[in-house]
């Protein structure tokens, strides 16, 4: 079933047929709030991960001592993992319906990449949108593969180089 | 709580205090058998992944048309993902109790890496053993982090360069 989409996206949705190139896969670990910061500290201690950037949740509830982690990027060897507190806020790319891990794929052509994935059998979830605040912070599309895994397809974020307060 | 273990493993379990170095994180996607091969084809079609090696399950039941996938390594950008059929066979590093994704960390010093993770709060699962057949195929330790994620810590496999029949 897959051969016809190997070299291009679906033709009937206005997307470009250019080859889609991904830089890397970033696993996204979503943990029960407010344990996100603990999880970051754990991955540093346990696996020697280095925090390269963090974006905190813009809203802090009165009972929260620390802001929730919208996304923290950790370098682990040549890989990057992202850690987030689980939140049902609309600004989060990962909603409360998802527990577990999400894979982030960066590419310059989000539309073509989503179209190619959908042509191959993935289900697109929601519209392609601007990802406010999260590391996956440019244009973001989301697809669920036939095996229940969530893949965020996004442009590389300018914010990834910043370490937020 | 984590600072004291940043630069070495626990001291009372015979492990070396050498720095633990990981090459990269490999997300391991475990899918309901026998959909492993379908999943590999999907990731090729949807995301342009390239299959670099495959190890089939050594036992094939009479009703199975194809052997189950013990582990297939796919290159996706600069990352590697691993796809497996979910099986409860003892030779599989990922047992049926686990559904979802597992993160594979490769290092030359599995004992020190497991000890460091445990000192930081992970729970070691089972003994460090030889990983027969799977891509994570040298010595393999398994830990669960405090957030429910499973990490396989293993030596790089010699088998990863082979494409098994």
State the ipTM, two decimals: 0.74
pLDDT at A86: 81
Average pLDDT score over chain A: 76
> Out of B77, B101, B117, whose CB is closest to A23?
B77
| pLDDT given for residue B159 in this prediction | 47
Instruction: Please tell me the distance from the alpha carbon of residue B39 to that of residue B9, in angstroms, as a whole number.
Output: 38
The closest CB to that of A47, out of B22, B77, B81, belongs to B22
Mean pLDDT of B18-44: 87
Given a cut of 60, is residue A47 above it in pLDDT? Answer: yes
* Nearest alpha-carbon partner for A131 in A75, A82, A97, A165: A82
Neighbours of A96 (CB within 10 A): 12
Res. B30 pLDDT band, cuts 50 70 90: confident
Under the banding of pLDDT at 50, 70 and 90, the label for residue A154 is: confident
- With contact defined as beta carbons under 8 Å apart, do A157 and A52 qualify? no
- For residues A97-103, average pLDDT: 63
- As a whole number, mean pLDDT of residues A23-49 equals 90
| Average pLDDT of the segment spanning B143-165 | 69
Most trustworthy range by pLDDT among A12-16, A100-104, B32-36: B32-36
Of A46, A107, A93, A162, nearest in space to B4 by CA = A46
Q: Which residues contact A82 (CB under 8 A, 6 or more apart)?
A: A26, A27, A28, A29, A71, A72, A73, A74, A104, A135, A136
Residues in chain A: 165
A113-126 pLDDT, tens digit each:
999 999 999 999 88
Of A138, A149, A155, A132, nearest to A55 by C-alpha is: A132
Position B2 pLDDT exceeds 50: no
Q: What is the DSSP string of A100-123?
A: EEEEEEE-S-HHHHHHHHHHTT-E
* Total Cβ atoms within 10 A of residue A106: 24
Q: Which residues 6+ apart lie within 8 Å of B161 measured at CB?
A: B52, B53
**Chain-chain contact of B77 with A25 (C-beta, under 8 angstroms):** yes
Q: Which residue of B has its CA nearest to A107?
A: B77
Pick B47's closest partner by Cβ from A3, A22, A81: A22
- The pLDDT value recorded for residue A127 is 86
Q: Do residues B91 and B77 make contact, with C-beta atoms less than 8 angstroms apart?
A: no
- Identify the band that residue A46 occupies on the pLDDT scale cut at 50, 70 and 90: very high
What pLDDT score was predicted for residue B11?
39
Between A and B, how many CB-CB pairs are < 8 A? Answer: 153
Q: Which residues of B touch A121 (CB under 8 A)?
A: 42, 45-46
DSSP line for B51-106: EEEEEE-S---TT-SS--EEEEEEEETTEEEEEEEE---TT-SS-TT--EEEEEEE
CA-based nearest residue to A162, from A4, A27, A54: A54
Is residue A157 very low, low, confident or very high in pLDDT (cuts 50, 70, 90)?
A: low
Give per-residue pLDDT as tens, A20-32: 888 888 888 888 8
The reported pLDDT for the residue numbered A136 is 61
Q: What is the mean pLDDT of residues A131-158?
A: 76
Predicted pLDDT at B137:
62
Looking at chain A, the whole-number percentage of residues with pLDDT higher than 70 is 70
Provide the CB-side half-sphere exposure for A49 (13 A, CA).
28
Strand partners, B53: B73
Q: How far apart are CA B109 and CA B153, in angstroms?
A: 9
Q: Which of B52, B84, B74 is nearest to B150 (CA)?
A: B84
State residue B94's pLDDT score.
52
Burial class (CB in 10 A: 0-12, 13-18, 19+), A141: buried
Other beta carbons within 10 Å of A139:
18
Q: Decide which of B3 and B90 is more confident.
A: B90
For the stretch A53-81, pLDDT in tens is 998 887 777 777 788 988 899 999 999 99
pLDDT for the residue numbered B123 = 94
Give residue for tokens 């191959």.
A120
Instruction: Provide the pLDDT for residue A129.
Output: 82
Query: What is the pLDDT of chain B when averaged over all its residues?
Result: 76
The chain B residue lying nearest A98, using CA atoms, is: B100
The yes-or-no verdict on residue B14 having pLDDT over 50 is no
Distance CA B162, CA B165 (A): 9
Tell me the per-residue pLDDT of B92-124, one tens digit each, with 9 for 90 and over.
Answer: 555 444 555 788 888 888 999 999 999 999 999
């Amino acid at each position: 079933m897959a051969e016809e989409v190997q070299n291009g996206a679906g033709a009937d949705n206005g997307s470009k047929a250019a080859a889609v190139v991904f830089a890397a896969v970033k696993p996204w670990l979503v943990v029960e709030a407010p344990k996100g910061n603990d999880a970051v500290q754990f991955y540093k201690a346990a696996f020697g991960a280095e925090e390269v950037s963090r974006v905190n949740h813009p809203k802090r509830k009165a009972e929260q001592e620390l802001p929730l982690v919208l996304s923290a990027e950790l370098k682990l060897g040549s890989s990057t993992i992202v850690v987030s507190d689980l939140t049902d806020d609309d600004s989060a790319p990962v909603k409360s319906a998802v527990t577990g891990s999400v894979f982030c794929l960066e590419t310059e052509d989000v539309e073509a990449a989503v179209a190619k994935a959908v042509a191959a059998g993935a289900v697109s979830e929601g519209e392609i949108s601007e990802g406010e605040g999260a590391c996956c912070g440019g244009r973001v599309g989301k697809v669920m593969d036939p095996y229940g895994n969530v893949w965020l397809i996004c442009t590389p974020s300018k914010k990834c180089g910043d370490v937020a307060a």
